[in-house]
Amino acid sequence: MNLSDSKKKLALAGVLCGLVAAGLAYFGNPANMAFCIACFIRDTAGALGMHQAEAVMYARPEIIGLVLGAFLISAITKEYRSTAGSAPMVRFLLGMIIMIGSLVFLGCPLRMVIRMSAGDLNAWVALIGFILGVATGVLALKKGFSLGRAYVTNTVSGAVLPIITVGILILLTATNLLKASASGPGSMHAPVIASLIGGLLFGALAQKSRMCFAGGVRDVILMKNFDLLTVVGSLFIVMLIYNMATGGFTLGFDTPGVIAHSEHLWNILGMYAVGFAAVLAGGCPLRQLILAGQGSSDSAVTVLGMFVGAALCHNLGLASSGTSMNPETKELVAGAVTTNGKIALVICIIACFVIAFTSKRKAA
């Protein structure tokens, strides 16, 4: 089925992805997290022992499903194409930047939209930064930014990341080698089979519809084309309806339990870095997983960068904390961005500018 030859079908893809996210929230994922690429990569990095933050360790089957869903659907429809060779280390760095920006804000663009649908005004503030970041990336594209072309390579190369995810799935289901949180967000999850099926469906739909949060905004700014934004918009509407129907919609800034903070400048700058780096890397965190699944080793390297970025965020104290309620005093404890996180984020934004305005296209 072609999901991208009309806006109605693109909207349908977004609705189906929204239903998957809502379903996973219903079955046990943190409600306002439902389906967050940055959070889930961070949790998986914890499960593999790459960081020691005990509250966020769990090999999320959704990440495995996304990569495998994209891999399988692209193989079945003969769209799998093993490619590589477009500035891999710059992409690794961009992956790290995307993750650091995400964990200063506390969520990837997908979770930003899900938080927006739950009434979290911090996410609406961050949207300003995300749009500005994408716009800066578009400016760089107009000035001739390029990481160079990718080349078709050995078929196996593109399959390495999907194979690794199968290995993680086996470790998760057949051994007790992986770490898992006993409390905190990492302990909240849907059953493995539900998460895996949800990830596979989401991955296949995202591959067919080319869903991309950065790409959606980029296309509007660059060409006034709303196709990709249609997918995102319909996902937002489904999650809005779900949140309203289940009492999960709370309009406000200080929302304990949402895993968010109200440091507006840093919410804006966090998502600014994510939007900027995502345009330079050619896609948001979700899109990187999908491209990696359909054979791009360059995107797989970006995903590895996100894993290392997630580990650094917790090992070096870069990740922000969310606003919470003290269970004993019932007082609101404001979430905060760490000093280390602020310094790292400024470095990340400077790095984005250096990459954006020094990597230029060469004529054939």
Per CB under 8 A, residues contacting another protein are 2, 4-5, 74, 79, 81, 86, 141-142, 144-150, 207, 210, 212, 215, 219, 222-223, 225, 227-228, 282-283, 287, 291, 294, 360-361, 363-364
The string over 156-173, giving b where at least 16 C-beta atoms fall within 10 Å of a residue's C-beta and e elsewhere, is ebbbebbeebeebbeebe
Q: Which residue type is seen at 178?
A: L
- Between 70 and 123, name the residue whose CB sits nearer to another protein: 70
Residue that has been written with the tokens 């994922």 in this structure:
29
- Between 5 and 328, name the residue whose CB sits nearer to another protein: 5
3-state secondary structure of 179: coil
Q: CA 348, CA 22: separation in Å to the nearest integer? A: 33
Q: CA 291, CA 266: separation in Å to the nearest integer? A: 29
Quote the tokens at residue 311.
């580990």
Distance of CA 20 to the CA centre of its chain: 16
- Between 17 and 24, name the residue whose CB sits nearer to another protein: 17
Q: CA 12, CA 209: separation in Å to the nearest integer? A: 10
Q: Least distance in Å: CB of 12 to another protein?
A: 14
Q: Least distance in Å: CB of 297 to another protein?
A: 14
Residue that has been written with the tokens 């609101």 in this structure:
332
Q: Least distance in Å: CB of 154 to another protein?
A: 19
Q: Least distance in Å: CB of 237 to another protein?
A: 22
- Between 74 and 243, name the residue whose CB sits nearer to another protein: 74
Q: Least distance in Å: CB of 6 to another protein?
A: 10
Q: Least distance in Å: CB of 310 to another protein?
A: 24
41, 259 in Cβ contact below 8 A?
no
Q: Least distance in Å: CB of 73 to another protein?
A: 10
- Between 78 and 330, name the residue whose CB sits nearer to another protein: 78
- Between 66 and 337, name the residue whose CB sits nearer to another protein: 66
Q: Least distance in Å: CB of 295 to another protein?
A: 9
- Between 261 and 287, name the residue whose CB sits nearer to another protein: 287
Tell me which DSSP letter residue 332 carries: E
Question: Residue 314 contacts by C-beta under 8 Å, 6 or more apart in sequence?
Answer: 42, 46, 51, 52, 53, 56
Q: Least distance in Å: CB of 215 to another protein?
A: 5
Q: CA 128, CA 126: separation in Å to the nearest integer? A: 5
- Cα distances from 172 to residues 40, 167, 201, 269, 291, in angstroms, run 14, 9, 20, 35, 24
Distance of CA 72 to the CA centre of its chain: 20
- Between 86 and 302, name the residue whose CB sits nearer to another protein: 86
Return the sign of the alpha-carbon dihedral for residues 248, 43, 132, 7: negative
Q: CA 258, CA 106: separation in Å to the nearest integer? A: 10
- Between 52 and 361, name the residue whose CB sits nearer to another protein: 361
